[in-house]
Amino acid sequence: MLVRIVKLTFKTENISSFESLFEETKKNIRNFEGCTLLELYQDQKHPNIFFTYSYWENANNLESYRKSEFFKSVWSQTKVLFDAKPEAWSVTKKAILS
């Protein structure tokens, strides 16, 4: 399993636009082949900073998503809302405690 973490920093005036876009597209993202979980977080001290966490069965599934027309369309709408360059990490979950 691959965990993808993306940090997104938006212009304050674009927060609601991003939230609407995410609401419209989240089911399609989650239902993309190989995606097993999708979460969205908002920083408590800096409300213009968001993080997405998505779980992928493997790197090929993530890469297929990133090359899809759906992703290209969503990304083109998202990137115009940014206040800073996004940051992304692909990580392997090493432990979980419940």
The chain-wide mean pLDDT, for the chain, equals 97
Task: Please report the pLDDT score of residue 57 as a whole number.
Answer: 98
Task: Please report the pLDDT score of residue 35 as a whole number.
Answer: 98
Per-residue pLDDT tens for 64-81?
A: 999 999 999 999 999 999
Cα distance between residue 1 and residue 14, in whole Å: 32
Query: Percent of the chain scored above 70 by pLDDT?
Result: 100
Length of the chain in residues, anyone?
Answer: 98
Task: Please report the pLDDT score of residue 90 as a whole number.
Answer: 98
Alpha-carbon distance values, 64 to 47, 53, 80 (Å):
31, 17, 23
Per-residue pLDDT tens for 25-49?
A: 999 999 999 999 999 999 999 999 9
Closest CA to 89 of 61, 43, 51: 51
Domains and CATH numbers, the chain: 2-91 (3.30.70.100)
